[in-house]
Amino acid sequence: RGFELVVDVPASRDTSVWEAGRMQSYFDRQLIFDVQENTTVEEVKVLIERKLGIPAARQKLTAFLRESLGDAGQYIPLQNEKSMADYKMKQHCVSIKFEKSAFDANGDYVFDDAYWDEEGYHPPPMDSWIPLDSVADRARPDAHKVDPVQPLSIASDRAGRKAHG
């Protein structure tokens, strides 16, 4: 029989929702997965990838484990090959903390979105999960036609002044 595993995901641009150049939502998320004792950390990362789009290889998961209510608990970095039973998740897990790693396996920084350098503009990778609308640089060639800092409407009394005076 399985159990529910709670993964806390902090609000970030990576998980925000954008529409027509404007942010629609930006908030912390709690993902809940039904897992088995033999489910590996790597399998949990694949479930998270399906929900968020962030590749499993770029995820860092840390479990907050407590042996009793009187125990202050501890944070344990999770290793891909280990199972939920190896960490006694069913008995001791309060939650899993999610973090996106900014570096690849070689320690090189990974550019998830568009950037400029001395060679010019580099669009985001084709497999980027970050919404293109969220890139704030209005000078980029693929910028959304709607400026996200522009107000949706402007209230003015000019028409009223012209009619009365």
165 residues of the chain, pLDDT tens digit each: 799 999 999 999 888 888 777 788 899 999 999 999 999 999 999 999 999 999 999 999 999 999 988 888 999 999 999 999 999 999 999 999 999 998 888 888 888 877 788 998 888 888 888 877 776 666 777 776 766 666 666 676 666 666 665
- pLDDT for residue 71: 85
**With contact defined as beta carbons under 8 Å apart, do 141 and 133 qualify?**
no
**With contact defined as beta carbons under 8 Å apart, do 74 and 120 qualify?**
no
- pLDDT for residue 151: 67
- pLDDT for residue 164: 61
This prediction has a pTM of 0.78
Phi-psi region of 20 (alpha: psi -120 to 50; beta: other; left: phi over 0): left
